Amino acid sequence: MPFSLHGIGVSRGYAIGRTYLLQRNQPEITEYTIPDSIIEDEVGRFLNGLTQARRQLREIRERVPTTASAEDATAFINAHLLMLEDATLAEAPVDLIRVHKCNAEWALKIQRDFLVRVFEEMDDPYLRTRKDDVDHVVRRVQRILATDDPAYLNDPDYAELIANRLEGRIIVADDLTPADTVLMQHQGVLAFVTEYGGPLSHTAILARSLGIPAVVGARNARAYLGNDEPVIVDGRQGVILAGLDERILRYYRHKQQQERRQQRELDKLKGKPAITGDGVTIGLYANIELPEDAAAVREVVADGIGLYRTEFLFMNRSEPPDEEEHLASYLHVIKTLEGSPITIRTSDLGADKQVDGGRGGPVSTNPALGLRAIRMCLKDLSMFRPQLRAILRASAHGPVRMMIPMLSAIQEVFQVLRLVAETKQELRDRGLAFDERLPVGGMIEIPAAAVCADQFARYLDFLSIGTNDLIQYSLAIDRVDDEVNYLYDPLHPGVLTLIRNTIRAGHKAGIPVSLCGEMAGDPRYTRLLLGLGLTEFSMHPSNLLEVKRAIQGSDVGALSKIARRLLRTTDAEQYAETLKTIAQN
């Protein structure tokens, strides 16, 4: 009998194939006391486990094909290798073994629990999901320790992945590490289904960049699905269908063909300008998280990068990055983009403990309203100044813009502009080149800033609307809290009014305004945003062509009139009707 399982669709596309259930047996971790005489042997056993884990990861890295889409995978594996070198994982457990006289697995568990707590308390959703990295790395070492066999290939999980022919299979697992994902993709896997993880998990990010359909968070999938069972994965809706009959199969084969045809049509839009039916040219930019994401931006031929989230540079380490590290990653992006503009956002980290690998002070009770983003940078100049210097130095190599997140008060703009002026002088004194006219812009993500956007527009060179946060703050809904997610409504009249106000303020001051929240990449909202006057969109590269299609053939003149009517409407039913009209225009 047909039945369906539901998760979160994180990489669209349909896959029809047989399941491969990955039953990884995580060893039970128990604590036992180690006699004084063999404490150093236990330390040696732990260090050997680390060495073997590194060898596994290096071996997997060598199997990554040298394609642009695989660059993400290499970056994630490198990040895991770095974690295995980092004192928080490589040294702290050694101290724990010696002090507590406990076994290596237990020491690793104590340290893992500590690090996961630190990540869980983080404000930024992307960084919060990076606790998965800790788990993946720790589990790898624990499995190696559990086999107690120096031949690392005897790690059953690793051996299984290396040996199995996974071609044409749909992988169903509890969770997948970036290394697993790479190994499998290399073997021609059709789709991924995991029981855990969210849209920002590694499986999700990698599946998207590899173009493989994926559903995450499909709880208990392995309890309901058999091994080698025919299933259909719908990576857009987040559905897994099983108990298939011929009728369902026919239907989905048809949908699959349709989707491929549509993708081929979309591909034809690559490199074509985004111009509305009435001749308005729209700028389409991309959001990136890792320098390696820049390859995907080039692939879809975006106008440039509208948001480079630099937080990843601060992850998985005990010290913030220095000027040269910042610079190296910016130069990588500049080189990949070959002359297209790049908007580098200064650090948008949460409470200050996040930058020092979790050894800092307590987290604020309400981190989303606490010391995050520009507030934190202005408080900790030793962290901020190297980034400012690096952005300025990068601007000598290509068209760079600097963007400040989470502005709430105009004084923050003045402080930043003063610091930029000081940094320029410092670079001049050091004889280093930079763009004297580096544009400095700000993100409008706080309702009060949107209301007073004209103030910000007077002193900044551009504005970018961060709707992910703007919606969270204006509707008082934690964007990562499942309990209130249903209230997260980009179409709320209050939200749309704030967006329109910001666009108007920017245009009145003669500066560009873009929108870089998730809303920009959702083609359902494209025409509404055009109607509100938006002329620059920045989004995940995978959404860019669909948005371009929605732009082509639209009529901005007509859309503006309807949008004006929409925001004058006080009747809920009429509001919904007007929204429908906009979508059809």
Active site amino acids: 202, 516
Please choose which of ligand PEP, Mg ion, none residue 467 contacts, taking the beta carbon within 5 to 8 angstroms, the exact cut-off set by kind: ligand PEP
Contacting residues for 568 by C-beta, under 8 A, at least 6 apart: none
Side-chain half-sphere CA neighbours of 249 within 13 A: 9
Among 469, 518, 536, 546, binds Mg ion (CB under 5 A): 469
- # residues contacting Mg ion (CB under 5 A): 3
Q: How far is CA 167 from CA 14, 77, 185, in A?
A: 16, 22, 9
Please choose which of ligand PEP, Mg ion, none residue 263 contacts, taking the beta carbon within 5 to 8 angstroms, the exact cut-off set by kind: none
Cβ 190 to Mg ion, closest distance in Å?
A: 35
List contacts with ligand PEP (CB under 6 A). 307, 309, 348, 445, 466-469, 516-517
SS3 assignment, position 441: strand
- Looking at residue 543, the DSSP 8-state letter turns out to be G
**Strand residues in 127-175 grouped as ranges (E):** 169-173
Q: Return the number of the residue (131 or 309) whose C-beta is nearest ligand PEP.
A: 309
352 binds Mg ion (CB under 5 A): no
Cβ 448 to Mg ion, closest distance in Å?
A: 15
Q: Return the number of the residue (184 or 406) whose C-beta is nearest ligand PEP.
A: 406
Q: Return the number of the residue (469 or 536) whose C-beta is nearest ligand PEP.
A: 469
Side-chain half-sphere CA neighbours of 83 within 13 A: 27
Please choose which of Mg ion, ligand PEP, none residue 517 contacts, taking the beta carbon within 5 to 8 angstroms, the exact cut-off set by kind: ligand PEP
Residue/partner pairs of 468-472 with CB below 8 Å, 24 or more apart: 468/517, 468/518, 469/406, 469/445, 469/517, 470/444, 470/445, 470/446, 470/495, 470/498, 470/499, 470/517, 471/495, 471/517, 471/519, 472/368
Phi-psi group of 13: left, alpha or beta (phi > 0 → left; psi -120 to 50 → alpha; rest → beta): left
Please choose which of Mg ion, ligand PEP, none residue 195 contacts, taking the beta carbon within 5 to 8 angstroms, the exact cut-off set by kind: none
Q: Return the number of the residue (195 or 469) whose C-beta is nearest ligand PEP.
A: 469
Cβ 469 to ligand PEP, closest distance in Å?
A: 3
Cβ 448 to ligand PEP, closest distance in Å?
A: 15
Q: Return the number of the residue (181 or 346) whose C-beta is nearest ligand PEP.
A: 346
From residue 427 to residue 466, what is the string marking binding to Mg ion with x (rule CB under 5 A)? ------------------x--------------------x
Q: Return the number of the residue (185 or 347) whose C-beta is nearest ligand PEP.
A: 347
Integer Cα distance of 11 and 191 in angstroms = 9
Q: Return the number of the residue (173 or 351) whose C-beta is nearest ligand PEP.
A: 351
Cβ 443 to ligand PEP, closest distance in Å?
A: 7
Please choose which of Mg ion, ligand PEP, none residue 516 contacts, taking the beta carbon within 5 to 8 angstroms, the exact cut-off set by kind: ligand PEP
SS3 assignment, position 198: coil
Burial of 203 (C-beta count, 10 Å sphere; 0-12/13-18/19+): buried
Nearest to 366 by CA among 379, 355, 381, 351: 351
Please choose which of Mg ion, ligand PEP, none residue 309 contacts, taking the beta carbon within 5 to 8 angstroms, the exact cut-off set by kind: ligand PEP
Cβ 312 to ligand PEP, closest distance in Å?
A: 11
Contacting residues for 216 by C-beta, under 8 A, at least 6 apart: 7, 8, 10, 192, 193, 194, 196, 197, 198, 199, 201, 203, 204
Cβ 295 to ligand PEP, closest distance in Å?
A: 21
- Looking at residue 116, the DSSP 8-state letter turns out to be H
Query: Tokens in use for 96?
Result: 């724990």
Please choose which of Mg ion, ligand PEP, none residue 54 contacts, taking the beta carbon within 5 to 8 angstroms, the exact cut-off set by kind: none
Binding stretches for Mg ion (CB under 5 A): 445, 466, 469
